[in-house]
Every structure is written in C-alpha cells, then in structure tokens.
Amino acid sequence: MKKVRVGAGSAYWGDMLDPAVELVEKGDINYIGFDHLAELTMAQLTRMKVRDPSRGYIPDIVPWMRAILPTCREKGIKVISNGGGANPEAAGEAVVNLAKELGLTGLKIGVIIGDEITRERLGELIAKGIKFKNLDTGEEDISVISDRIVAANVYIGCDRIIEALEEEADAVIAGRVSDNALYVGPLMHEFGWKFEKPYWGLIGAAVTIGHIIECAECCTGGMSNIWNIAPELWKVGFPIAEVDENGDAVLTKVPGSGGIVNEWTIKEHLVYEIHDPANYLMPDGIADFTKLKVEEIGKDRVKVTNMTGKHRPDTLKMGIGYEDGFIFENTVICPWPNAYEKARKAEEILRERLKMVKLDADELRIDYLGINTMLGSTAAPLPPDYEPNEVGLRVAVKAKKREEAVKVRREITHLWTLAGLGAHMGVPPDPRPVISLWHTLIPREEVPTRCIIREVK
C-alpha cells in the first residue's frame, strides 16, 4: 500500500526553525508544510504591502527557505508554504532570487494567487445582491465598516496546490490557504483523490490529519496538559504523519527529538479550535471527528483510523480586517508589604483620575497579575491571610480615538508617585491601532484563483 510522509515545519509566524531543519534532514519525509498565518496576519501584511509593494509576505520565508531548500532539493522533498501572505508573487520572486543565489537551477516554484478580495470587488459582489453577514454578531450591513476596511482574504483550499504539484513544482507559495490545505493538497495529489463523492471520506481523513499536525509542536508535547512529562521541550520535534492511501495515518516525530507523541497529545490537538466535531468545515471538505480511533502503537507513534468526512462546502470563509480604534496596555508592579492592598488603591486612584480627564473609551480593563488576569470573575477568592510578594496591575483600554487611549497612557505614569504604590515596568508604549475581523462567507464561485509556475534559470 502506498504511503506518503508529510511533516509540519511551522505553526505560526516566528516559530522555531531548527525542528524544521531536523525534519528535512532526518525525518524521511516527502513533503513539509509551513503555516505562518493567524486570523489577523493578513491585514497586518496588507498594511506592509501598501507601504512597500515589494513586501507583504512573511519575512521568515527567505531565511527558512535558505535553511532547507538545498536539502529538500537533494532529497526530493516538496515544500508547501502559506508564507506568501498578502503578496505571494513578491514572496515567489524572493524565493526565486534565493534559489538562484544558492545555485538551484531548474527549481520550480508554484505561486498561488486569488484569495484577496479588493474593496472594489466587494462592492461589485454587494451590487449583485450578495450579503456578507457577520458570523460572530449576525450583522448584515457591511456598510458600517466599508470605509475602514484594510484587507479581505478568503480561506481557499488546496485546488491550486494540487495543480502546482502536477506541474512538478518543488515548492509552492500561497497566501491565505487554509492551514490544513498545506497537507490535504499533497495527499490528494499523491493518491489521486478527487473532489467527488467516492473520495469525500478520504478527503475528510486528510483534513483531520492536517488539522492534527498543522500547529506543529502543539501535538508533540507543546501547549499540552502533559507538559510535565514531555522530555526536552527545548529541542521539541515537529510532527510527521505517515499516511496510507486508505486514509489511515501514523503520527510520530524524528527519533531522539524532544517532546512526546502519545494518545493524549493527539487528542488534545484534535479538539483544538473546533466547534461542531461532527462537522469541521474546511474549504476542501467537512471532517467528522466523532468516529475516529486513536491508538498508541509504540513509543512516539500513534495510529489514527476510521476518519471520514463529507463534501466540501459551497461557500468559503472570508476574514475582512477593518480599523477599529486604538488600544493602550501597560503594567505597574506593587511590591510587598500589602501588595494586593496597594494594587487596589492604585486602581482606585487611576479610575478617579480617568473620571477627571473625562475618558471616553469603548472598554477599560484593570486586572491583577497573579490574582485574576487569566480567570477574571471566576478566580477563587483570596484567603484572608494572603500576602503575595508582589501584584501586577495590568491596565488596558480600547478607544475609538487615539487621544483617548493617550489619556490612559499619561495617567498610569502618575502611579509611579502617588502614594508610592508601584514600580512601573518601563516607559509606557504608544497606543497601537486595532484591526478587528468581520468573519463572513462568500460563494466559492466568486473566488477565482490561479497558479503561476516560476522556474529558476
């Protein structure tokens, strides 16, 4: 039975490089996928592109490719990356130039474009009668943000990844493809699966496998409840999925690498960031997580079977990033003795000062580090004799106008002196602009994509 080994080389922009290098050098893999994008990353990258048309992609892509491309070329490992961000063509050009520098002539780079929806295109679609209902709030009138839109990008599937691989691309650079499409594409290409009914269950399996490994170290002991038994996390190994053409998979990592792969690390990530486990909607298919079987079959080897799924949706998710005011955040540390009482007094002083300057804010949060920052109102009551060495007072404000956020920045500095309550943690930063997301759906047929093949001469 044919098997394909795919490795996850990145979970986010800024992830570790050395485990990815280890994968290509020691993982005996056929493909390596790099996920660099989060929900708001596209809007941030679009701003970069507006300032400089040669930018707008993940800067990591060049040093990462420098570190792995020669070995991948030597071993025949294909690279699939969404590091193209908001400017896949510029990213492709950068990788082509790098490959020339490295002497990798004949290398083929597939560049996928088409996930961006411009303001003008949005206007055309609205004129056609398409509603872009906010999936979070239920709002249907997108005009309330139309003059503040920064970027609109669609989560596309693996169609063009498959096309690039059929054109014998050695590396594929995309923008906002779904995270697991980085792995669904190679599996569909290798096994000849099509977007047709006989293959729906197999594509559901591929989506499931991609979902498990897409966040790299998060299924090999990172971000885990069993962190205390995961060995040598400082040299954690990234995951490998060995997939059979029947859709079964064995999940593992490079022998001798840090971290752990067991039943629980796989289950933990299986349920990460999902809503309905019977209907995990992705652009390539709908996976059903309710019937699968997870079984440890050896050290750092977990077999996942009985995965299934349904046809791919007729609509695609679109994230519209829009300007939404400003945020200021800073922390003051109140020391022993009476640290908690000092923090409460500091909050009282700050709130009264903000009344005096007539703060106009959408939201003001004041939390106590070590007390309730994470748990909020659900935090357990403090015991009567509780006497911490220090308590941090975290202050955060969101306001429509920058000058309102600046008021909080100015007033928090007075806690350095008033009643001698706090030790400030550095110079307060400037307020930062907020980009919020309007999640919505767009008909699949309204998102034409294409693949451009670049060959290194």
Instruction: Examine the fold and report which residue of 312, 329, 362 is the final residue of a domain before the chain moves on.
Output: 312
Q: What is the mean pLDDT of residues 333-337?
A: 90
Compute the mean pLDDT over every residue in the chain, rounded to the nearest whole number. Answer: 96
Instruction: Examine the fold and report which residue of 312, 346, 376 is the final residue of a domain before the chain moves on.
Output: 312
- Tell me, yes or no, whether 39 lies in a domain: yes
Specify whether 422 is located in the same domain as 400.
Answer: yes
Specify whether 86 is located in the same domain as 192.
Answer: yes
- Tell me, yes or no, whether 129 lies in a domain: no
| 23 in Cβ contact with 213 (< 8 Å) | no
Measured in residues, the chain has a length of: 457
Q: Roughly what angle, to the nearest 10 degrees, separates helices 159-166 and 181-191? A: 50
pTM of the model: 0.95
- Tell me, yes or no, whether 127 lies in a domain: no
pLDDT band for position 419 (50/70/90)? low
Specify whether 230 is located in the same domain as 353.
Answer: no
Is a pLDDT exceeding 70 seen at residue 437?
A: yes
Specify whether 211 is located in the same domain as 85.
Answer: yes
Q: What is the pLDDT of residue 424?
A: 67
Specify whether 393 is located in the same domain as 297.
Answer: no
Instruction: Examine the fold and report which residue of 312, 338, 364 is the final residue of a domain before the chain moves on.
Output: 312
Specify whether 292 is located in the same domain as 341.
Answer: no
| 392 in Cβ contact with 333 (< 8 Å) | yes
The per-residue pLDDT for range 376-404, each reduced to its tens digit, is 989 999 998 899 999 999 999 999 999 99
CA 422 from centre of chain: 36
- Tell me, yes or no, whether 146 lies in a domain: no
Specify whether 215 is located in the same domain as 75.
Answer: yes
Block residue for tokens 């000092």: 342
CA 334 from centre of chain: 35
The per-residue pLDDT for range 69-100, each reduced to its tens digit, is 999 999 999 999 999 999 999 999 999 999 99
CATH number of the CATH domain containing 424: 3.30.70.2750
Specify whether 228 is located in the same domain as 358.
Answer: no
Q: Which amino acid, one-letter code, is at 286?
A: I
Specify whether 265 is located in the same domain as 376.
Answer: no
- Tell me, yes or no, whether 136 lies in a domain: no
Q: What is the mean pLDDT of residues 30-48?
A: 93
Domain that holds residue 409: 320-438
Closest to 135 in 3D by CA, of 315, 312, 287, 362: 315
Q: What angle do CA 132, 134, 139 make, to 5 degrees?
A: 95
Q: What is the pLDDT of residue 422?
A: 64
Specify whether 328 is located in the same domain as 308.
Answer: no
Specify whether 70 is located in the same domain as 193.
Answer: yes
Query: How many structural domains does the chain have?
Result: 2
Specify whether 346 is located in the same domain as 284.
Answer: no
Over pLDDT 90: what percentage of the chain?
93
Helix (H) or strand (E) segment spanning residue 151: strand 149-154
- Tell me, yes or no, whether 191 lies in a domain: yes
Is a pLDDT exceeding 70 seen at residue 214?
A: yes
- Tell me, yes or no, whether 126 lies in a domain: no
